[in-house]
Amino acid sequence: MGFALILGATLAAPSAFNINAADKTMEGIFRQSGVPSLTYAIVKNGKVVKSNSFGKANLETEAKATRKTVYEIGSMTKQFTAAGILLLAEEGKLTLEDPISKHLDSLPEEWQNLTIRQCLSHTAGLKDYLATYSPLKTDPVKASDVFKKMGAMKLDFAPQASWSYSNTGYLIATEIIEKLSRQTYSEFMQARIFKPLGMKSTSVSDPDRVIPNRARGYSVGPRGLQNAPVINPSLASGAGNLVSTVDDLASWEASLQTNKLLKPESIKQFFTPVRLTNGRSSEYSIGWWIRQDKNRPLIEHGGNTVGFSSDLFRLPHENVSMIVLTNTGGVSGAQWARAGLAALIPSYDPNVRAEVDPDERESALMMLTLRKWGKGKYDTSHFTEDFKSNLGTTRGLAMRFGLASIGKDAISYKYLDGETVDGFRNKRFRFKFPGAVAIMELTFAPDGKIANLGSIYSYAEK
């Protein structure tokens, strides 16, 4: 199918807390997706209650994946960078409302009044520098050179007026950490987070250093899986340059469930979404997406590098989390984790719901718009202005592709359930594709226009 969905397993029958069903789902995802390996862990009340590994960490040596396998975690790095900022805030060295110019010199004029919180929450309007620089290994790139080049470009929107994912804010945060701590990013993370939590296998991803149990990364090419190139560590920086294991990340998650590392006030800031100037939630805090399902919070963040994909998905209402690591780039760890959690706790599975669509005409107009996109007619008349603006960013390219692919390949759709958040309706649908089903969420503004498109998970249809 055209839409970029990696297939999971059909979900099991409802159960209060079904670890076996979750394990079967994750094994099914591994086998159907074709990735070389998948390692996952379920953490409940600060303890690992289930972990498993499937496949090979290295296809050439046939080394098996285990709980000790070290994977690149990509943008999951952001939660550690944000935690570093919070630790400095606890020491009184900064506040999240500080303008970044208070801590960094020689910034572009338009950046002077951007706050640290805006940079960490992707609400600063900064263009993404990784859309301008090649992420592949090259000579080291200085942050000051990146700032100079990116500073010559206008902000995408007025600070906090909208939301657009941008790694640039995390490069800025990395520089602030290094300046205020007088340590390198690596030294600070080791001293303040990794060693205190016993995360012995977590570090920056230095491609020249021998890292025991490091997995080989793969990407999908014209002839199938191929060795992925190495990313430039000076570019990934605090936006995406860490490697870790499922056990280390379980220790990190346990610290979040038990307030072991950060103070309660810091934890509150960690998991509170930033409000936009229009009063709506951005659905992002600092280093985490914050969404909801039937008024229960869903907290997660994934990562994608050229050869690896990852996710940490939290259900704080249940004090349960799932960690997913794999050595193939471009797959959706968040979808996989959500599918596993839906099997674990079926009340989180929209696929088993069957509510009545409160506005069938609104849904029909949605499908009509998607069909137009599938035919190459890019009608935006039923999109909100914010959604149109986000589609116009570099990061909006994948969303535009997704809209067109759904419209082209979807055989049918069915309304499952929905809820209202900040006056906007989140409606979840089951889209049927040839051989597969995708559960997706679309957000509608009060006037019925489409405000967002989100993936939940997909599975093979028997």
Query: Domains (ranges, CATH) in the chain?
Result: 1-348 (3.40.710.10), 353-460 (3.10.450)
Distance CA(75)–CA(73), nearest Å, equals 6
pLDDT of 11 > 60? The answer is: no
* 352 contact partners, CB below 8 Å, separation of at least 6: 11, 14, 346
> What letter represents residue 127's amino acid?
K
Q: Which residues pair with 99 in a beta bridge?
A: 115
Distance CA(134)–CA(441), nearest Å, equals 32
Distance CA(226)–CA(222), nearest Å, equals 9
Alpha helices by DSSP H, listed for 310-356, are 333-344
Closest by Cα among 147, 260, 242 to 198: 260
> What letter represents residue 88's amino acid?
L
pLDDT: which is higher, 12 or 287: 287
The SS3 of residue 196 is coil
Mean pLDDT value across residues 29-54:
95
pLDDT of 243 > 60? The answer is: yes
pLDDT of 354 > 70? The answer is: yes
pLDDT: which is higher, 117 or 460: 117
What is the chain's mean pLDDT, rounded? 92
Closest by Cα among 454, 363, 354, 58 to 227: 58
According to the model, what pLDDT value does residue 165 have?
92
DSSP state letter for 284:
B
The SS3 of residue 443 is strand
Q: Which residues pair with 232 in a beta bridge?
A: none
* 390 contact partners, CB below 8 Å, separation of at least 6: 162, 163, 164, 396, 399
Q: Which residues pair with 424 in a beta bridge?
A: 421
The SS3 of residue 152 is coil
Which residue is associated with the tokens 């001293």? 191
**Torsion angle defined by CA atoms of residues 385, 391, 392 and 396, in that order, rounded to the nearest 10 degrees:** 150
Beta strands at 309-315 and 296-304: parallel, antiparallel or unpaired? antiparallel
The phi, psi pair for 231, rounded to 5°, reads -85, 155
**Torsion angle defined by CA atoms of residues 365, 371, 376 and 381, in that order, rounded to the nearest 10 degrees:** 0
* 8 contact partners, CB below 8 Å, separation of at least 6: 25, 28, 29, 32, 33, 335, 336, 339, 457, 458, 459, 460
Distance CA(408)–CA(364), nearest Å, equals 16
Note whether 407 and 450 are within 8 A (CB): no
pLDDT of 4 > 50? The answer is: no
Distance CA(174)–CA(190), nearest Å, equals 14
- Report for 13-27, 124-138, 249-263: range of highest mean pLDDT: 249-263
Distance CA(106)–CA(104), nearest Å, equals 7
Distance CA(243)–CA(205), nearest Å, equals 6
Q: What is the pLDDT of residues 364-390, one digit of tens each?
A: 999 999 999 999 999 999 999 989 988
The SS3 of residue 356 is coil
* Whether pTM exceeds 0.85: yes
Distance CA(157)–CA(451), nearest Å, equals 17
According to the model, what pLDDT value does residue 16 have?
63
Closest by Cα among 167, 155, 104 to 126: 155
Distance CA(100)–CA(102), nearest Å, equals 5
Q: Which residues pair with 299 in a beta bridge?
A: 290, 314
According to the model, what pLDDT value does residue 21 have?
95
Please compute, for residue 241, the number of CA atoms within 13 A of its CA located in the half-sphere on the CB side. 25
Mean pLDDT value across residues 94-115:
97
Which residue is associated with the tokens 């990407």? 219
The SS3 of residue 294 is coil
Note whether 356 and 380 are within 8 A (CB): no
Maximal C-alpha separation, the chain: 59
Distance CA(35)–CA(55), nearest Å, equals 8
Q: What is the pLDDT of residues 54-84, one digit of tens each?
A: 999 999 999 999 999 999 999 999 999 999 9
